[in-house]
Amino acid sequence: MAVPEISVEELAGRLNEGGFLLDVRQPDEFVEAHVPGALLVPLDEVPVRAGELPPDQEILVICRSGARSHRAAEYLIAQHGLSAVNIAGGTLAWIESGRDIVVGSGPT
């Protein structure tokens, strides 16, 4: 299944427009550094927590480098019919681009 993918530059624009960002990394990775506004739902919890995601909004899915988020986006599209997009390069690419990060467990 083809999963749409965008760059961190495109992600920044979509977040400025109110985009919904789902981070599928583990809690310790999330606390270390995450994109402002991200909601943490570890990959292994996505199947049981998919109902918490907005059904009428594009879900921007991020992980460390893009592999786990690709799997999560593929699952959300195939199993729940949601509009999901993978973030190429993940959080590492976001950090390398020099954009702001959040350290700690809060979503912002």
**Which positions are catalytic?**
63
Q: E strands of 2-108, at which residues?
A: 5-6, 20-23, 39-40, 59-62, 84-87
Element (H, E) at 11: helix 8-16
Q: What is the DSSP letter of 24?
A: -
Other CB atoms closer than 10 Å to residue 38's CB: what's the count?
Answer: 24
